[in-house]
Amino acid sequence: MRLSRGRALKRPLSLPPGSTIGICAPSGPVDDSPLEEGLHWLDEAGYRTRCGENLRARSGFLAGTDRERLADLLELIRAPEVRAIVLARGGYGVGRLLPQLDPVEIRRARKLFVGYSDATLLLLWLRRCAGLASVHGPMLERSDATLPARARLLEVLRGGPEALVPLEGELLRGGRVRGPLVGGNLTMLAGSLGTPWEVDTRGAILFFEEVGEKPYAIDRCLLQLREAGKLKQARGVAVGQLVDCVDERYPQVAARDVVAEILQAEVGGPIALDLPFGHVADNRALGVGITAELDGDRGTLALVDPVVEEGA
């Protein structure tokens, strides 16, 4: 695997209406109902869709065998008419495919990848290995995605001005910084350590979210990032939604408090909490690798630059 260290980050090409979006599932198996609704939404938004041949395949906890999932991903990467690739859902499994991807080929293709959750590893790989920006945002796994979340995703795809509107959260520590935005699901970020696509927070704004993890597990992941130097290297931290992160055995311990304690001790810059992204219906899209501004005094996070650029 040839890495893109030292290369300038390349932005994918924008998606005007009429463009073709590829849909595949490199992680867990897909549920038909939300998938069909998501495909219908993209059609109504003016986009064509091309689904991977094995999109609905199943193999245990995976959406088909490694060979099938990789074949779909490569087919869409190599299809000239496909301008972006939106993952159907997360779950688990995309990390099994990353060593088999060619960063030079994918950088040259300049396709916009959209996903979150397990897709965090792919988004980290795109930035670290291929030098390509991507989108942490809604996939096609939720029937309850909010209109604002879908509208923002379309603005991000098209490079529209609404993609730069700040997300509003709650301040924890004041200050204002700019830097490349990197992050994703907290468990996946910790799991990236020691790999070629390890999260790189040097001079960056780190963002993370989590779902279904008990507070002690969140503590463990943050300590792992701390000991790897990732928290001190970050200019600031933006925390999204911590969904169902409770422990019936220790109900008095809140995940939010665990996060606040560790971040306040380790992060020198601004910190914002409760931002609208993660495993929620109102999952607002962010640009991985794109310059962003974190305003801890206001508790806001905003992209400074579009994720995409215009091109033929």
Residues taking part in catalysis = 117, 209, 279
Assign 122 a pLDDT band (cuts: 50, 70, 90). Answer: very high
Number of folded domains in the chain? 2
Domain termination site, one of 142, 164, 186: 164
Task: Taking the CA atoms of 200, 201, 206 and 212 in sequence, report the sign of the dihedral they define.
Answer: positive
Residue finishing a domain among 149, 164, 179: 164
pLDDT digits 0-9 by tens, 6-34: 578 999 999 999 999 999 999 999 999 99
| The pLDDT of residue 145 is above 50 | yes
Q: Does the pLDDT of residue 215 top 60, yes or no?
A: yes
Count of CB atoms situated within 10 Å of the CB of 248: 6
Last residue of a domain, one of 106, 134, 164: 164
Least confident range from 5-14, 54-63, 145-154: namely: 5-14
Q: Return the amino acid letter for 185.
A: N
- Distance CA(190)–CA(195), nearest Å, equals 11
Query: Is 9 a domain residue?
Result: no
Which of 160, 168, 112, 86 lies closest to 288, judged by CA?
112
Residue 310 located in a structural domain: no
Query: Does 5 map to a domain?
Result: no
Residues spanned by the domain of 198: 167-303
User: Which has the closest alpha carbon to 272: 213, 206, 190?
Assistant: 206
Please return the burial class of 44, using the count of CB atoms within 10 Å of its CB with bins 0-12, 13-18 and 19+. exposed
Dist. CA 89–CA 6, nearest whole Å: 32
Is the Cβ–Cβ distance between 208 and 188 less than 8 Å?
no
Percent of the chain predicted with pLDDT > 90: 96
For the entire predicted model, the pTM comes to 0.96
Residue among 300, 38, 250 nearest 150 (CA): 38
